[in-house]
Amino acid sequence: MRSAPRWTLLPATLGLAIVLAYLILWVEITPLMIAQADFTPTYVGATLFRDGLGAAIYDQTLQAHLYASAIAPLHEGYLPFMAAPLTAVVAAPVTLLSLDAAYRVWSLLQFSLIAVAAIVAVRAAPSEVAIGRERRAGVALIALACLGSGSTLFQGQWDGVWALGLAFTYMCLRRHRMATAGAVLAVTSLLAKPQLALGLAAFALGWRDRRLITGALAGGVVTVAVSLVAVGTGGVAGFLGGLGSAVSAPPAVMVSLVGIAASILGQTPAADVVTAIGSLIALAIAGALGSAVRSRPRRLEAALAGAVVLSLLASPHAFGDDLALLVPAAAWSITALEGQGGDVRSLRHAVLIIWLAISVAAYLVTVGTARQLGNLTPWTLVAAAGLAVAVCMRQGGAATVPSPVTGPGLLALTPTSPGGSRAVPAPPLSGLL
């Protein structure tokens, strides 16, 4: 087994230190911070469901009363439960615990799911050069160190479910299990945060694979049906009626294109127009990336990672914890680079620099520096999406013929010589953010 090269070892060591820091800070979280965390509205909605009030889980009066009771004797601002109905169903078991204990169990579970997502993505990623277990573990740590992982842990958010679903979707795509990939993507996105799936939906449509789209539709139908059974038409109607409600956090701190427009133009109609146009462009690019994979399956890592980034950018609201969706994308991207036999040093440096920049920019927003510098996080995501598109374009242009590669069920396409009589080696695949 090869020892980890320095370019992996140093970031992996830093990643381990950051992950440990997240856990230490999490242990020190106070009851007041738990009361203000995003998990508390989930606890309220899940408690209402457990009490047999599924049709009324979006009733603001009931929520406010239960919220005050859950955080007593503290008196903090009220955060409404606005997530999809099945979030209350899935979280219901932890409401048997006190708020503080439930927060600890739930937040640690979500953080663990993100870690598992990184491992699944690393194991599923292609490797033309043998990568030992230590190097794969190092890549997983680099990916997990994202500030989105820490935010999910501190807030008790749902991004662990989403990240794990994305990792399994990628694994299924690698193994050419298209219907399963579509179903997993639809179920996990609708269960947790459907607004973050717009770019991935465009990616699937751009791929134009019948099984992928059919699987996604089937997963969506099943999720909606289960929601109706769980909370009835009243609960579903309450959720749909609340979709237009204002988000409590200011738009300028969002990590999507909303954050860019609001930072420059403020909360104005002009900002809304700019956001809408930018989101449509992001969705169009995500669809084009899906089409690029259809013509050359070896582009999967770069194209899917780009679609994940574009999904965040196109989302009507996305915050720092939602950056956890990038963890599995970073894991398969860096693993693909690790497994290259050619010289991809510049690409390695680029992906690590952008990965670090995303977390640094998000941290600056967290500590309030964005008021002076502006929200830099969505700009780093724009750069990441640009890199993914550039890698896909780099792999274009040559005629291709199918040939088998390592990796179950997925064909690689190898460029042929101009005369078509002799195959030449394919350019290195760089699945980059």
pLDDT digits (tens, 9 = 90+) for 52-65: 998 889 998 999 99
Question: Which pLDDT does position 410 carry in this prediction?
Answer: 32
User: Which of 410, 388, 324, 344 is closest to 126 using CA atoms?
Assistant: 410
Please state the rounded mean pLDDT for residues 329-345.
77
Give yes or no for a contact between 154 and 107, defined as CB atoms under 8 angstroms apart.
yes
pTM score: 0.86
pLDDT more than 70, % of the chain: 84
Predicted pLDDT of residue 6: 54
pLDDT at 397: 46
**Residue owning tokens 């396409």:** 413
SS3 222: helix
User: Tokens 């991935």 sit at which residue?
Assistant: 200
> With left for phi above 0 and alpha for psi between -120 and 50, is residue 80 left, alpha or beta?
beta
State which of 253-267, 301-315, 333-347, 349-363 shows the largest mean pLDDT. 301-315
Q: Which residues of 230-251 are buried (b: 16+ CB within 10 A; e: fewer)?
A: bbeeebbebbeeeeeeeeeeeb
Burial of 403-430, coded b for 16+ CB within 10 Å and e otherwise, reads: eebebeebebbbbbeeeeeeeeebbbbb
Of the candidates 314, 287, 26, 16, the residue with the CA atom closest to the CA atom of residue 139: 16
DSSP H helical ranges for 266-299: 269-295
Tokens at residue 423, please? Answer: 């195959």
pLDDT tens profile 419-430: 333 333 333 333
What integer is the mean pLDDT of 118-134?
80
DSSP string, 298-317: GGHHHHHHHHHHHHHHH-SS
Nearest CA to 81 out of 117, 122, 48 is that of: 48
How many Å apart are CA 275 and CA 260, to the nearest integer?
8
Residue 72 has what pLDDT? Answer: 87
Q: Which helix (H) or strand (E) holds 144?
A: helix 133-144
Residue 3 in this model has a pLDDT that exceeds 70:
no
* Tokens coding 317: 């609201």
Residue count of the chain, please give it.
433
Q: How many CB atoms lie within 10 A of CB 112?
A: 13
* CB 297, CB 210: distance < 8 Å: no
Q: Is pLDDT at 296 greater than 70 in this prediction?
A: yes
Confidence tier at 303 by pLDDT (50, 70, 90): very high
At residue 74, the pLDDT reads: 84
- Whether the CB-CB separation of 323 and 151 falls below 8 Å is answered with yes
Tell me, what's the pLDDT at 332?
A: 93
226-232 LR contacts (CB < 8 Å, sep 24+): 226/86, 226/89, 227/84, 227/85, 227/86, 230/49, 230/54, 230/85, 230/86, 230/89, 231/49, 231/54, 231/55, 231/57, 231/85, 231/88, 231/89, 232/54, 232/55
Using the predicted structure, report yes or no on whether residue 128 has a pLDDT greater than 50.
yes
- Portion of the chain with pLDDT greater than 90, in percent: 58
CA 196 to CA 215: how far, in whole Å? 19
How many Cα neighbours within 13 Å face the side chain of 397? 7
Tokens 């980890």 correspond to what residue? 4
Listed range (5-9, 33-37, 159-163) with the worst mean pLDDT: 5-9
Alpha carbons 408 and 415: distance in angstroms, whole number: 21
Collapsing DSSP to helix, strand or coil, 423 comes out as: strand
211 touches 181 (CB < 8 A):
no
Q: Which helix H or strand E contains 373, and what residues bound it?
A: helix 370-373
3-state helix, strand, coil in the chain (%, to 5): 70, 5, 25
pLDDT tens readout for residues 271-280: 999 999 999 9
pLDDT at 418: 34
Reported as a single tens digit per residue, the pLDDT across 370-411 is 555 668 899 999 999 999 998 888 765 443 333 333 333 333
pLDDT in tens, 224-272: 999 999 999 988 888 888 776 646 678 888 999 999 998 888 889 999 9
For 379, phi then psi, to 5°, come to -65, -40
Whether 355 contacts 341, CB under 8 Å: no
Arithmetic mean of pLDDT, 329-342: 79
**Span 171-226, pLDDT tens digits:** 999 999 999 999 999 999 998 788 899 999 999 999 999 999 999 999 999 999 99
Q: Please report, to the nearest 10 degrees, the dihedral formed by the alpha carbons of residues 193, 195, 197, 198 taken in order.
A: 170
- Mean pLDDT of the 126-149 span: 82
Residue 67's H or E segment, with its range, is helix 60-71
Tokens of 180: 């399963």
The whole-number pLDDT of residue 75 equals 79
Q: Quote the pLDDT of residue 395.
A: 64
Q: What is the pLDDT of residue 283?
A: 97
Domain boundaries, the chain: 109-237+246-397+404-415
Q: Residue 384: count other Cβ atoms within 10 Å of its Cβ.
A: 29
